[in-house]
A and B are shown apart, each in its own frame.
Chain A
Amino acid sequence: MNPASRPQAVLALLAIAALLAMPWLVTSDYYINIATQVVIAAILAMSLNLLVGFGGMISLGHASYLGVAAYLTIYLSTHAGLGSLASALIAIATTTLLAMLFGYLALRASGLGLLMITLALGQILWGIAYRWASLTGGDNGLGGPVRPRPFGIDLMNPTAFFYFTLIFLVLAAWLISRFVQSGLGQSLQGARDQPRRMRALGYNVWMVQWLSFVFAGFWGAIAGMLYAYYHQFVSPQALHLTTSAETLLMVVAGGTGTLFGPVVGAALVVILKNVVSAYITRWLMLLGVVFVAIVLFMPEGIVPGLRRLRAAMKMQPASSARSALPVTEERPT
């Protein structure tokens, strides 16, 4: 473990302890449900951050994995009559296959092209969900799966379900950080910063990026499965551009390329959304304003911002001077 990651590990343990203690600290189901939403959103945002922060691949179609896994989980368990474990496994496997295909197509381009392709591919899925009503229920969506009862634990209980999602968050955080520190993850970051040099060194940049794309899709699928169980309902909204954009905002607001930035960003966005919708209906406008404000006033995100603040108070130069928003443009000459 390098010295820089020790405070991170301490922070992680503290965060996990705080999350574990959540249900004792707040007794209301309402807040536990919001915490559950944060956890699910955090898994999705972490997986997107793998692409955006560590890979420099800005995807605007990350809702695809959330939505497809959610639709499949619900469709298979209620409409096709499969068991909940089989439904979940098939949903995750199929969604990961979809990520393989999307990765293959999106990685035909880099930078802004990749962004446009992922956006368009995401809109195809939204279009299917919205228009192919005989399969997906159209605008009415699909509903009806009851949360499973693994080992006789009733996940309909909000606290039990919160812990259920928390297991996946811890797994995601652990495995994604392992991935980022692995040789593959390091070469992904190398490909983000110096693609041409990495190619010259003999790395198969395309393969590295594709494998990361698929890994991110897998965790997106996990988030989708949990989303389906949490809401017990899925509509085209899960696949909409707004959902992809919200996830990207979580990543950017929390801090791209940090492990816990997306968790902080997810908490911010989910809490903001729940608070705002209780008072006004202008969520979309607020989302837009937050987007513009973050880019203009806090481009590096919350977690690196705090880190820099701490470093400034210790009178040390900030550890990372890398530009906050990854620049992905690589114009062939």
Chain B
Amino acid sequence: MNFWVIQGLNGLAFGSLLFILASGFSLIFGLMRIVNLSHGAYFMLGAYVGISAMAAGASFWTAILIGGIAIGALGAVIERLILRRLTGQPLAQVLVTLGIAFIIADACVWIWTGDPRPVPMPRELAGAFRVHQLAFPIYRLFVIGIAFALAAALWFLLERTRLGAMIRAGVDDLNMARAIGIRTSVLFPVVFCLGSALAGAGGVLAGPILSVYPGLDTDMLPLALVVVILGGVGSLLGAFVGSLIIGFIYSYGQALFPDLAYMILFLPMVLVLTLRPTGLFGRQAI
């Protein structure tokens, strides 16, 4: 009994991290049709920047902010200088973001060396939450809370604001959105910057759970892809449900079949693709 509850909560926590990663990826892909293969690298770079900020004396909370702002700014620069020139060329965009991912990954090894870095937990959230004989780390509960708050905030942004309405219009039919006067030249950088910032801040937030190591980027990127394929392109709800499904499968799989956990992660994607190519909540095929 304890096993199932604890692993369930672990799954929820891992799924929460995935959601923070995948929501940004899904927003960018849904609106701009860019498969941002740098997204995993942004996540890892954010975590390293957070570590350095903490080493320089910043608190954990400031570090999250710094990670988010730094990676958001980097995303804005890359959008401005490179991706904008490649509008309408999906393969070129994919190759460029893949190249940038390699550059970032290697730069991280260069600057922060190849050793895994543990990330200290904020003191306020250390320790465990106890009910009866169950003990669960407070930090993980906090991460779950953040993900739900983020989901609510993104829902509000997309469904209740003017910016959100423009983004939804762009996701549904980009040409029509342009035709009715939505300025995608303003919308694209905003969304790319927001998605990148989410990845950067998510990296710092994930640090105490995953620790930070070279290869974290290529570990996380495929998971973001799987979540998006599973949930359906451009669907926030899909990213949310997909993240939780993958989170649970990872957690139980890791505990029950440690050798095969990584493979099991991808089974739901295979299953969903076979039965429902649009994903669980997607309206258009990828």
State which of B53-61, B158-166, B198-206, B258-266 sits at the interface with chain A.
B258-266
Contact B218 A116 (CB under 8 A): no
Chain A 96-129: CB-based contact to B (< 8 A → 1; otherwise 0): 0000000001001111110111011101100110
Most buried by B among A108, A242, A290: A108
Most buried by A among B90, B98, B260: B98
Cα(A58)–Cα(B258), bound, Å: 32
Chain B 135-177: CB-based contact to A (< 8 A → 1; otherwise 0): 0000000000000000000000000000000000000000000
Q: Count A-B contacts at CB 8 Å.
A: 140
Q: A248 on the interface (CB 8 Å rule)?
A: yes
Chain A 26-70: CB-based contact to B (< 8 A → 1; otherwise 0): 000000000000000000000000000000001010000000000
A205 to chain B, nearest CB (A): 14
Residues of B within 8 A of A113 (CB): 229, 233, 285-286
Of the residues B96, B218, B263, contact of A296 by C-beta under 8 Å: B96
Residues of B within 8 A of A119 (CB): 222, 225
Residues of A within 8 A of B63 (CB): none
Q: B8 on the interface (CB 8 Å rule)?
A: no
Residues of A within 8 A of B107 (CB): 285
Chain B 84-113: CB-based contact to A (< 8 A → 1; otherwise 0): 011011111011101111111111001000
Residues of B within 8 A of A332 (CB): 284-285
Q: B126 on the interface (CB 8 Å rule)?
A: no
Chain B 260-282 interface residues, beta-carbon cutoff 8 Å to A: 260-263, 265-266, 269-270, 273-274, 277
Residues of A within 8 A of B233 (CB): 113
Of the residues A58, A131, A285, contact of B261 by C-beta under 8 Å: A131
Contact A109 B270 (CB under 8 A): no
Residues of A within 8 A of B5 (CB): none
Cα(A90)–Cα(B261), bound, Å: 27
Cα(A249)–Cα(B94), bound, Å: 12
| Contact-size category for B | 35 or more
Contact B285 A325 (CB under 8 A): no
Q: B226 on the interface (CB 8 Å rule)?
A: yes
Chain A 209-250: CB-based contact to B (< 8 A → 1; otherwise 0): 000000000000000000000000000000011100100110
Q: A112-B35, A120-B229, A332-B284 are in contact. Are A292 and B94 (CB under 8 A)?
A: no
Closest to B269 in A: A120
| Chain B interface, >50% SS class | helix
Q: A311 on the interface (CB 8 Å rule)?
A: no
Contact A109 B277 (CB under 8 A): yes
Cα(A110)–Cα(B284), bound, Å: 12
Chain A 124-158: CB-based contact to B (< 8 A → 1; otherwise 0): 10011011111000000000000000000000000
Measured CB to CB, the residues of B under 8 A from A are 29, 33, 35, 82, 85-86, 88-92, 94-96, 98-107, 110, 218, 222, 225-226, 228-229, 233, 258-263, 265-266, 269-270, 273-274, 277, 284-286
Measured CB to CB, the residues of A under 8 A from B are 58, 60, 105, 108-113, 115-117, 119-121, 123-124, 127-128, 130-134, 240-242, 245, 248-249, 252, 282, 284-285, 287-292, 294-296, 299, 325-329, 331-332
27 contacts between A and B (CB under 8 A): A105-B274, A109-B285, A109-B286, A111-B90, A112-B29, A112-B35, A116-B229, A119-B225, A123-B218, A124-B262, A127-B262, A128-B260, A128-B263, A131-B258, A134-B259, A248-B95, A249-B95, A252-B91, A285-B102, A287-B102, A288-B101, A288-B102, A289-B99, A291-B95, A295-B92, A296-B85, A329-B33
